[in-house]
Amino acid sequence: MSEAATTLAGARKGRPSILRRWVGQALARNLSCLVVPGPEVALAHGLDLAAADMRIAATPRDATVLLIVGELSQKLDEATAVLYAQMPRPRAILVLGGSAPSSLPQADVSADLSQTELMEAATRLQRLLAEDAFAASPDDFDSSILQAKTEYVCPMHPEVVEDEPGSCPKCGMDLVAREAGGDSDAGEHDHDHDHEHEHHGHEHDHDHEHESEEHDHHHAHHNDHGQSHEHHHDHEHHQNHKRAHDHEQHQGDDDHEHAHCHEHEDHGHQQSTAQEQSGTEYICPMHPEIRQNEPGSCPKCGMDLEPHKPEEDEGVREGVPEHDHEHHHDHSGHDHDGHDHSDHDHDSSGFMSMVEVTKDLPRSADGLAMDWLEVPFGPCFPGLPGGLKLTLTLDGDGVTEGQATSLVAMNTSSEEVAVETFIERLAAAMPLAPVSYRLLACRAIEQAAGLEPDPAVERGRAAALERERIASHLGWLAQLGRQLSFVWLTRRAAALQLETQRADREQLVALRPALQSLIARLEHTPLLKARLKGIGALPHGSQDLRGPVARASGRTEDARQADAMYRELGFEMRAESAGDAWARLRQRHVEIMTSLDLVEVAGDPELPKLRAIDNPSGTGEATVETPRGRATLRLTQERGQVVSVELDSACSQHIGLVADLVEGQELGDALVAVGSLDLSPWEVTS
Amino acid sequence: MTVALVLLTLLVGAWLLAVIEAWLTTGRLRPVAPLLAGLSHLGRESILARKPDRLFFETAPVLLLVVAVLGAAVLPLAPDLVIADLATGALFLNAVLAYVLVSLIMAGWGPNGAYAMVGGWRFLGQLIAYSMLIVMPITATAMRAESLLNSAIVESQAGLWNIVYQPLGFVLFFIAAIALAFRSPFDLPTAPGELAGGVDAEYTGVRLAVLRLARLVMVITLSAATTVFFLGGWQGPLLPPWAWSLIKTLAVAVSMLLVGFYLPRIREADLLGWCWKLGIPLALLNILIVGLLILVVP
């Protein structure tokens, strides 16, 4: 049921010509996809992109096709619009097994979630690209998500950020407008919004300069850092103040230069008159030219004037903002201010010294004071699970703090649904472990109905669960390979994962030598141990560890131990002890082999299906050891309808560990540490 | 004529390398794939990031390509097939390769993005790690040849290739060359899984095509350098000299790719630590051994 549009919404502007036709054909035969939510989700659905002649692109910049796998949550939908805006035209959208995201144009090709549909869709997409990569008047892509959001900040107190204009509760100064930064950057690049400005159907090579004089940018801060302290120029400070005025009075005014000139003259004049006065005077911390003999507020910015004695000024140059006594003699701090007047720094809070901004923050481990950048990683970052957004504050390439949020978190407070629908929904909501959650739902419902476990059924279910565990751990290995550019591992593990997913007992047993050799090889791969050893070690006594992460730290935490069926199958838990990323890798190796043994004993895997229940009301609770750890589901059903649900999953606990894991680490190590947790953002409950 | 031949060699080498690279990653051997990729880059928009440092952004890919070609200019592919057989050829190569850093810092700074920025500065750390391991093994080969003339270095290996005469130097140079070309496992500045492309992250269209080409040519140039310094250059039986140069260069280039294919990315701290604590003492030892050999063996 694959459907294709007749024209390409993301065509590039240009009249068809022979050369453009060739380019279109080249694009068609060289499909590079940005997979949303991520390549691991495509793999978990059993999609083999390479077989469909598609290459996985690491960034939206390098992608021709936006490949959307399954339904997206609202937040991920919005983030996807940003990613799409970052892709260079000609670009296409391919939606597999979901409705087209609302913030994107109509999908160029949509199909069901299966390998055959994917192959067919790829062919259609190729035809479309070959013929319609260029169009005389392509559609613009615009979405409310991409519009810059304005927020209001206090120039003196960067922590004061309001949605509406007003004055600062701390110093009374008028808040200034700026484009909302970091938080609204849902996509993986800093420049999310930027490119949108460029995407109004123009040719891009020539028309960018006009835009965005006034916007804030993380990066801009870099310019004022590390500049030599010796360079004093008298007009440095004038620059500062010019800028301060500018932001109040000429906000959004493109004619900056003009504004600067006027202010400049004005400025010098007022200063010289102010200097002649003596005794206590009151000056505006932001506008030293505003001096008066009595307290009051600044006519320019509304800030309260501060008392000031001219003799204190010694050693401090004329016009230095004096809002903070600690910094009274701190030249370096102020000198930084003056330097950030490089061309592309029109940051509205940029006149603030970064030293000022960071003065109360702890220094990095090496003692260097650097500009701290808040950089989003995710929700579609090549080295992290799709749907996970990691926000790291970078100090150089060290991480000072970070936190992870899930954009695809499960919402358990849903409306009443029939039990069968509930099972399907829960399984579909967890693309990385559908079997485990299907089993969890079946068990909870059966328990609520008062059914006793049936050993024959449980055997097949256990085999299915263990097969999923093998596939899931292989998927994690493939993801590790992507994170570390370990191409061989990615290819090998992904191929094995695809084979495992559909295998029966016999086929799984036949895969044993391949799995063993993969594991043996990894344990002896040079550099791998050095890369993982000692990384991501959890603080001692971390609570709520589950699954392989817990067992890699030597905890005997495994829901399967309590299961009579598993005892019968001869399950024996084995655990590593070091608790770092290397131990987690080895723990997963061990579990792959243990699960294989279990499947061999248990027989053919059977997908969990709800058994016939006679009493469709009651409360049930079930626990399943999912590939990522123990999950417990409590539900209440009434007359065949599930009315309330409570889910307690491993990833909800583990996502909270991220902040501790990344703090103080080098960027690469921090990402490896987060990756080693094998978070599934879907299994986080909101 | 010579210039055209050398450029053609570099292009053919880059194409072959791209074919093999695609073969390794996708498992399919498609000779046209690099050409299609190149053509599609030309047809795509070349987006300029917001508030870029335009000069740096535009210059970086071109500079990297120029560096790679300039480096190849002093490497003899056959006795008379060299663009400039400078009297200070070995030194010139070192000097040229220093500009790889300049190019990457520019590519990191230019697009005004955090990923690129971190990638660019990471390469500065990487340079501190590998640069001595490029210079010192070359020094040892020049010692044996008693000349900085690259053709003299090739001729000095007539009896015994340097890979046998000074194997330690070869290993160090080979590793350092991969780091210099920032190929996996030393792809710290681009690091797809850590920085989403790093210095590459904001390049699209024509600029990206130039950048990719430059990276491939860089591998070929460094492989040719390895051939000249350690594998006896154009020397070999039966086949014409240029064919030997080509075969050896490609063999080195492919082995560089294979190393990356089977290894995970190194940790930045480990790279620095190992290069300085292990690599540089070994490189000094190599110079010492070569010095002794020159004195003892006539």
| DSSP at A390 | E
Q: Which of A534, A635, A548 is nearest to A584 (CA)?
A: A548
Each residue of A342-363: b (16+ CB within 10 Å) or e? eebbbbbbbbbbbbbbbeeeee
Maximum average pLDDT range among A104-108, A217-221, A395-399, A600-604? A600-604
For tokens 């093999």, what's the residue?
Answer: B20
pLDDT at B186 over 70: yes
Q: Tell me if B253 sits within 8 A of B223, measured CB to CB.
A: yes
What amino acid is encoded at B68 in this protein?
A: A
Which residues of chain A does B181 touch, with a Cβ-Cβ cutoff of 8 Å? none
Query: Does B194 contact A667 at a Cβ distance shorter than 8 Å?
Result: yes
Q: Which two tokens stand for residue B15?
A: 């194409």
Contact A35, A52 (CB under 8 A): no
The answer to whether residue A319 scores a pLDDT higher than 80 is: no
**Is the pLDDT confidence value at B263 over 60?**
yes
A189, A204, A482: residue with CB nearest B48: A204
The span from the CA of A447 to the CA of A442, in Å, is: 8
Per-residue model confidence (pLDDT) at position A249: 36
Using the predicted structure, report yes or no on whether residue A278 has a pLDDT greater than 70.
no
pLDDT in tens, B53-71: 888 888 989 999 999 999 9
Q: Is B205 on the interface with A (CB under 8 A)?
A: yes
- The predicted-structure confidence for A383-428, as pLDDT tens digits, reads as follows 888 888 888 888 877 888 888 888 888 877 667 788 888 888 888 8
pLDDT above 50 for A49: yes
Side chain identity, residue A91 = R
With CB atoms and an 8 Å threshold, state whether A397 touches B26: no
Q: Which residues of B touch A194 (CB under 8 A)?
A: 49-51
Chain B residues close to A396, C-beta within 8 Å: 118, 121
B203 touches chain A (CB under 8 A): yes
Average pLDDT for A317-343: 35
Instruction: Return the SS3 of A645.
Output: strand
Could you count the other beta carbons within 10 Å of the beta carbon of residue A494?
24
- Residue in A306, A319, A296 with CA at minimum distance from that of residue A244: A319
Dist. CA A277–CA A50, nearest whole Å: 78
Q: Which two tokens stand for residue A488?
A: 């061989």
Beta strands in A50-209 (DSSP E): 54-56, 65-69, 92-96, 109-111, 134-135, 150-153, 161-162, 176-179
Contact B265, A484 (CB under 8 A): yes
CB B201 within 8 A of CB A377: no
Q: Give residues 113 to 132 of B whose Cβ lies within 8 Å of A.
A: 113-115, 117-118, 121-122
Confidence of residue B223 (pLDDT cuts 50, 70, 90): very high
Identify all chain A residues contacting B46, using CB atoms and an 8 Å cutoff. Answer: 88, 204-205
Distance CA B134, CA B286 (A): 13
Cα dihedral A188, A191, A192, A198, rounded to 10, equals -140
pLDDT > 70 in chain A, percent? 71
Please report, as a single letter, which amino acid is at residue B53.
D
Which residue did the predictor score with more confidence, A14 or A200? Answer: A14
**How close is the nearest chain B Cα to the Cα of A14, in Å?**
10
Q: Touching check for A379 and chain B: CB below 8 Å? A: no
Whether B189 has a pLDDT exceeding 50, the answer reads: yes
Interhelix angle B54-73/B89-109, rounded to 10 degrees, is 160
CATH architecture, range A3-135: 3-Layer(aba) Sandwich (3.40)
Position A638 pLDDT exceeds 90: no
pLDDT at A595 over 80: yes
Name the more confident of A585 and B2: A585
Torsion of CA A304, A309, A314, A317, to 10 degrees: 30
Average pLDDT of the residues of chain B: 89
| Displacement of CA A617 from its chain's centroid (Å) | 41
Strand A176-179 relative to strand A150-153, pairing: antiparallel
Residue A344 has pLDDT above 60, yes or no: no
Mean pLDDT, chain A, whole residue set: 73
Q: What is the arithmetic mean of pLDDT over B273-280?
A: 92
> Would you state the pLDDT for residue A281?
75
Given this model, what pLDDT does residue B298 score? 66
Query: Is the CB of B284 inside 8 Å of chain A's CB atoms?
Result: no
Domain ranges of chain A: 3-135, 412-649
A255: CB partners within 8 A, 6+ apart: none
Specify the range with the lowest mean pLDDT, choosing from A126-140, A267-281, B34-48, B209-223: A267-281
**Interface membership of B36 toward A (CB under 8 Å):** yes
Q: How much is the average pLDDT of A515-544?
A: 85
- Residues with Cβ within 8 Å of A323's Cβ and at least 6 positions away in sequence, in order, are A156, A171, A285, A286, A306
Contacts of A50 in chain B (CB under 8 A): 26-28
Nearest to B261 among A55, A62, A487 (CB): A487
Please tell me the distance in Å from A527's CA to the nearest CA on chain B. Answer: 6
More confident residue, B24 or B275: B275
Does the CB of B231 have a partner CB in chain A at under 8 Å?
no
Reported as a pLDDT band with limits 50, 70 and 90, residue A381 is: confident
**What is the interface size between A and B, counted as CB pairs within 8 Å?**
205
Q: Which positions in chain A touch B33 (Cβ < 8 Å)?
A: 30
A362 pLDDT exceeds 70?
no
One DSSP character per residue, B196-257 reads: TTGGGTT--HHHHHHHHHHHHHHHHHHHHHHHHHHS-TT--SSS-HHHHHHHHHHHHHHHHH
What is the Rg, in whole angstroms, of the alpha carbon atoms belonging to chain B?
Answer: 19
Kindly tell me the number of DSSP H helices and DSSP E strands found in chain A.
21, 21
Contact list, B43 vs chain A (CB under 8 Å):
12, 20, 23-24, 26-27, 90, 133
Is A159 exposed, middle or buried (CB count within 10 Å of its CB: 0-12, 13-18, 19+)?
A: exposed
Query: Cβ separation of B270 and A26 shorter than 8 Å?
Result: no
Tell whether A59 is within 8 A of chain B (Cβ). yes
Interface of B with A in 57-96 (CB under 8 A): none
Select from B51, B197, B268 the Cβ nearest to the Cβ of A217. B51
Residue whose C-alpha is closest to residue B253's, from B220, B292, B206, B205: B220
**Number of compact structural domains in chain B:** 1
What pLDDT, on the 0 to 100 scale, is given for residue A254? 37
Q: Does A534 touch chain B (CB under 8 A)?
A: no
Which chain B residues touch A527 with a CB distance below 8 Å? 185, 263-266, 270
A55:B27 CB<8 A: no
Between A299 and B225, residue with greater pLDDT: B225
Cα–Cα separations (whole angstroms), residue B145 to A42, A274, B136, B151, B159: 57, 75, 14, 9, 12
CATH 1.10.645.10 for domain A412-649: yes
**Chain A: closest CA distance from residue B187 (Å):** 8
pLDDT at A152: 75
Q: pLDDT tens digits, residue range A92-107?
A: 888 888 777 777 788 7
Residue A226 has pLDDT above 60, yes or no: no
CA A107 and chain centroid, separation: 24
Q: What residues of chain A, 195 to 224, have a C-beta less than 8 Å from chain B?
A: 195, 197-198, 203-205, 208, 211-212, 215, 217-220, 222
In this complex, the residue of B24, B204, B208 whose CB is nearest that of residue A487 is: B24
Distance from CA of A185 to the nearest CA of B (A): 13
What are the b/e assignments for B107-127, b being 16+ CB within 10 Å? bbbbbbbbbbbbbbbbbeebb
- From chain A, the residues in CB contact with B126 under 8 A are none
pLDDT band at A231 (very low <50, low <70, confident <90, very high): very low
Indicate the residue of A30, A212, A527 with minimum beta-carbon distance to B36.
A30
| Cβ–Cβ contact B52 with A under 8 A | yes
Predicted confidence at residue B236, as pLDDT, reads 83
Per DSSP, A297 falls in state: B
Q: Tell if the CB–CB gap between B117 and A528 is shorter than 8 Å.
A: no
Question: For position A266, what pLDDT does the model report?
Answer: 38
Range of the domain at B146: 2-296
Give the residue with greater pLDDT, A429 vs A349: A429
Which residues are A179's β-sheet partners?
A150
Q: How many CB atoms lie within 10 A of CB A374?
A: 18
pLDDT of residue A615: 67
| Dihedral Cα A458, A459, A463, A468, nearest 10 deg | 0
Q: Which helix (H) or strand (E) holds A623?
A: strand A618-626
Cβ-defined contact of B45 to A397 (cutoff 8 Å): no
Tens-place pLDDT, residues B77-103: 888 888 888 888 889 999 999 999 999
Which residue among A20, A211, A215 places its CB closest to the CB of B43? A20
The verdict on a CB contact (< 8 Å) between A667 and B118 is yes
ipTM given for this complex: 0.89
Strand A306-308 to A281-283 pairing: antiparallel
Mean pLDDT, range A179-199, rounded to an integer? 40
Q: pLDDT tens across A146-175, in order?
A: 665 667 777 777 777 777 777 777 777 777
